[in-house]
Amino acid sequence: MSSTPDRPLLAVLRGERRDPPPVWLMRQAGRYLPEYRALRAEKGGFLELVYDSDAAAEITLQPIRRFGFDAAILFSDILIIPHGMGQGLTFGPGEGPRLTPPLDDGDWRRLTPTVDRFAPIYETVRKVAAALPPSTTLIGFAGAPWTVATYMVAGQGSKDQAETRRLAYRDPAAFGALIDRLCEVTIDYLSGQIDAGAMAVQLFDSWAGTLSPDQFDQWVIAPTKRIAAALMARHPGVPIIGFPKGAGAKLAAYAAETGVDAVGLDETVDPAWADAVLPKGMPVQGNLDPLALIAGGDALRAAVARIRAALDTRPHVFNLGHGILPDAPIAHVEQLLAMLREGSR
């Protein structure tokens, strides 16, 4: 008997194949779950829940109890980093996040941090780690510097991230200083999550898809490489999943050059292409279309089969290519899990 419990998902991130593939779903702790909506109705706003470590731990565990996913992902938000750096953060009802003041010049030194925003997040990680089933992997996360910067500069979500791309062309030195600072904070923040019990971490580069190849090299690949190197030095053996959503064909360079241990595929990626071009043996995560999950039935079955067949010889963590949508039927999540398990060979 091994003294460490078997965690299939962690094993896959370290390069083993497992059949059936371990599975979790991005945004699995969220609005499609009635138990989440009930707790949200009782406790109030999204950000209040994130900073309430009892509530956040409970929400993180809800989908594990219901579905037995192979990973729990910390219930939190990619904008905790700018909030921790001193930018104001609100989520108005029915609208996206607002960050104040917008850093339209990229100068993060204008911000004054007043509250330790990371301590309650680490506390949530500790509580989840203590409560998880022994076969479940706990994944911590952060937004990647480029993606976080797009919100900090525009003060909100933005179409095509145009303000931030313009700033990066107009004043690469100022923008580069912001990215450098975000690298430092991200390294410390993910390191803190790992110290608190996270067994793997994911870097969400949700807005990597609008960058030209030059800007992608500078603002996605280089910062990710720096973060991966620092985390690997501080925490050897803790896998890093990089998820540059929308990277298209540039995913191959990202996988080869950044030093991340595994890559996430968004739903637009042909998994057969990914298998052909990614480094041999590199674990991949993904990439069911969230809308195929909503469709269910034959459309779901066909999409799952295509992904499994393409990634048959590679370490594979099954996931969506994007967060689960609030109107995803619980019954379809159950169908998906049954398909994965019945489909094992």
Residue 165 sits in the site that holds a copy of itself (CB under 8 A) = yes
Asked if 141 and 205 count as a contact pair (C-beta separation under 8 A), the reply is no
Task: Tell me which of 40, 165, 226, 314 is the catalytic residue.
Answer: 40
Contact call for residue 253 and a copy of itself (CB under 8 A):
yes
* Euclidean distance between CA atoms 36 and 23, whole angstroms: 20
Q: Is 77 annotated in the active site? A: yes
Active site residue 31: yes
Phi, psi of 62, rounded to the nearest 5 degrees:
-50, -50
CA distances, 86 to each of 112, 121, 126, 205 (Å): 5, 16, 24, 21
Q: What x/- string results for residues 133 through 162 when contact with a copy of itself is judged by CB under 8 A?
A: -----------------------------x
Hey, what amino acid is at 128?
Answer: V
- Which listed range, 8-16, 73-81, 164-172, 335-343, lies at the site for a copy of itself (CB under 8 A)? 164-172
From the list 15-23, 61-69, 136-144, 294-302, the region that binds a copy of itself by CB under 8 A is: 294-302
Of 6 and 160, which CB lies nearer to a copy of itself in the complex structure? 160
Candidate list 7, 36, 77, 261, residue with the active-site label: 77
Which residue from 101, 248, 326, 329 is in contact with a copy of itself, where contact means CB under 8 A?
248
CA distance 332 to 325: 12
Query: Quick one: tokens of 333?
Result: 């999540």
The residue within the footprint of a copy of itself, chosen from 246, 259, 323, 343 (CB under 8 A), is 246
Alpha helices in 235-296 (DSSP H): 251-257, 271-277, 290-295
Piece of the chain touching a copy of itself by CB under 8 A; list 15-23, 95-103, 173-181, 271-279? 271-279
Given 35, 306, 323, 337, the residue binding a copy of itself (CB under 8 A):
306
- 209 near a copy of itself, judged by CB under 8 A: yes
Query: Which of 84, 325, 336 lies closest to 190, judged by CA?
Result: 84
Percentages of the chain per state (helix, strand, coil), in multiples of 5: 50, 15, 35
Catalytic residue among 31, 66, 234, 306: 31
* 210 secondary structure, DSSP code: G
Active site residue 27: yes
* Strand, coil or helix: 95: coil
Query: What gap in Å lies between CA 244 and CA 261, rounded to an integer?
Result: 13
Asked if 232 is part of the footprint of a copy of itself (rule: CB under 8 A), the reply reads no
Q: Does 257 bind a copy of itself (CB under 8 A)?
A: no
User: What is the biggest distance separating any 2 CA atoms in the chain, rounded to whole angstroms?
Assistant: 60
Stretch that binds a copy of itself, among 122-130, 175-183, 204-212, 337-345 (CB under 8 A): 204-212
Among 79, 185, 321, 336, binds a copy of itself (CB under 8 A): 321
**Is 122 considered catalytic here?**
no
Q: Establish if 273 lies at the interface with a copy of itself (CB under 8 A).
A: yes
Q: How far is the CB of 98 from a copy of itself (least distance, A)?
A: 19
The CA–CA distances, whole Å, from 158 to 66, 84, 91 equal: 35, 21, 15
Q: Is the dihedral of CA 143, 147, 150, 156 positive or negative?
A: negative
Which of 10, 251, 255, 263 touches a copy of itself (CB under 8 A)? 251
Q: Kindly name the residue from 122, 151, 189, 254 that is annotated as catalytic.
A: 151
How far is Cα 86 from Cα 320, in angstroms, rounded to an integer? Answer: 33
Of 108, 242, 245, nearest to 180 by C-alpha is 108
Q: Which residues are catalytic?
A: 27, 31, 40, 77, 151
Q: What residue ranges bind a copy of itself (CB under 8 A)?
A: 162, 165-166, 169-170, 172, 209-216, 246-253, 267-271, 273, 277, 289, 291-292, 294-295, 299, 302-303, 306, 321
